[in-house]
Chains A and B, each alone.
Chain A
Amino acid sequence: MGLQLLLLFMISAAIVAIEVEDLLSSVIAVGAVGLGLSMAFLVLKAPDLAITQLVVEILCLIILIRATINKDLPLIRDGRWLFNTIATVLFIALFLILAYFALKDLPAFGQPIMRVAGEYIAQGLQKTGATNIVAAIILDFRGYDTLGEATILFTAVMGVLAVIRRVGRINEK
């Protein structure tokens, strides 16, 4: 019951974020979606995800508010409204039909088919010595994937610093 209410809250906050005209208000609505997601992680019993989601949401909100606080973008609403609406409705209908056929074969919510995961849960403490089973999986059983994740973050930071610094240096001359 709580999960459905949280989902309803997140969907309505997302609609508010798209439809409102002021840029700062829509950034705050995006923050409300992130808060609802963090509480949904708590309801689904995943505290690691809830902590990480909350702090990354705070960081993204600071960056977005700092970027939008002095800007006033003009809103462009040109013609072709009918064509856009019909195309959107058609694509949503097509997606729902295909999703119905795809999702019929998934196992029920809360009863997954776990073979390797059952092995991790049964023997995680004894094989690794860590009581946090999430840390044991992402850093011991599946450490290679975490290495890929760390490489992604490293490449993203290097890319941002490379792009920003060059333009800044030309500006100072």
Chain B
Amino acid sequence: MKSKKEAGMTLIVKTITRLTVGLILLYGIYIVLHGHISPGGGFAGGVIIALSFIHLMLAFGRETVLKKLSEAKASILESLGASMFLSVALLGFLGGYFFFNFFLHKGRPFDLFSAGIIPLCNIAISLEVGAGLFAIFAALVFFKGAGEKE
């Protein structure tokens, strides 16, 4: 029985969230950046980054997180990711044909700065997937239907 309705969940959940959500975000960024060396890549890493923000939203309530990252900003980030991917592809036209890699070295195997345009494409895809899934979650899960009451 609650006398006044507090946003989010109990104190235990909020404390554990404060400790773990930074680690989840860091793990997602690690999977994105090492996409050309170890398994993972842009799609899986983008979903993990979105999950860290969703974790914050589930534990602290919708309003607290939407003040920091509103739906409009998430939409802009997603469009930025998609257009970055497209511009990396179109830049290849300067060197030959679509997606041609002419401006970044192949490097040695297992280096972080190797494999041409693949790390750039991974970062672009992770921006798009992460921001898109966060926007869908923020709009859809807290949606009140036409006849429901609070």
**A residues neighboring B (CB under 8 Å):** 47-48, 51-52, 55-56, 58-59, 62-63, 66-67, 125, 128-132, 134-136, 138-140, 143-144, 146-147, 150-151, 153-154, 156-157, 160-161, 164-165, 167-168, 171
Q: What would 4 more interface pairs be, CB under 8 Å, given A139-B41, A154-B82?
A: A55-B48, A135-B41, A153-B129, A168-B143
Q: Which residues of A contact B117 (CB under 8 A)?
A: 139-140
A150 with B54, Cβ < 8 A, contacts A129-B116, A130-B118, A132-B36 known: no
Query: Are the C-beta atoms of A129 and B114 separated by less than 8 Å?
Result: yes
Query: Are the C-beta atoms of A125 and B36 separated by less than 8 Å?
Result: no
Query: Are the C-beta atoms of A147 and B85 separated by less than 8 Å?
Result: yes
A135 with B50, Cβ < 8 A, contacts A129-B116, A140-B118 known: no
Q: Pick 9 A–B contacts, CB within 8 A, sort by A.
A: A48-B44, A62-B58, A63-B141, A131-B36, A131-B37, A135-B118, A154-B79, A157-B136, A161-B71
* Cα distance, A7 to B79, chains bound together (Å): 39
A59 with B50, Cβ < 8 A, contacts A47-B39, A154-B132 known: yes
* Cα distance, A160 to B89, chains bound together (Å): 27
Closest 9 CB pairs of A and B: A129-B106, A130-B115, A47-B39, A157-B132, A130-B36, A52-B44, A143-B99, A55-B47, A129-B115
Interface of B is mostly: helix
Beta-carbon nearest neighbor of A125 in chain B: B109
A67 with B132, Cβ < 8 A, contacts A129-B107, A147-B89 known: no
Beta-carbon nearest neighbor of B106 in chain A: A129
How far is the CB of B114 from the nearest CB of chain A, in Å?
A: 5
Contact with A along B102-139 (1 / 0, CB 8 A): 00011111100011111001100100110011011101
* Cα distance, A139 to B99, chains bound together (Å): 9
Query: Are the C-beta atoms of A136 and B36 separated by less than 8 Å?
Result: yes
Query: Are the C-beta atoms of B140 and A139 separated by less than 8 Å?
Result: no
Query: Are the C-beta atoms of B39 and A48 separated by less than 8 Å?
Result: yes
Interface centre among A131, A147, A157 (most CB of B within 10 A): A157
The reply to whether the CB of B86 lies closer than 8 angstroms to some CB of chain A is yes
Q: Which residues of A contact B135 (CB under 8 A)?
A: 157, 161
Q: Which residues of B contact A157 (CB under 8 A)?
A: 78, 132-133, 135-136
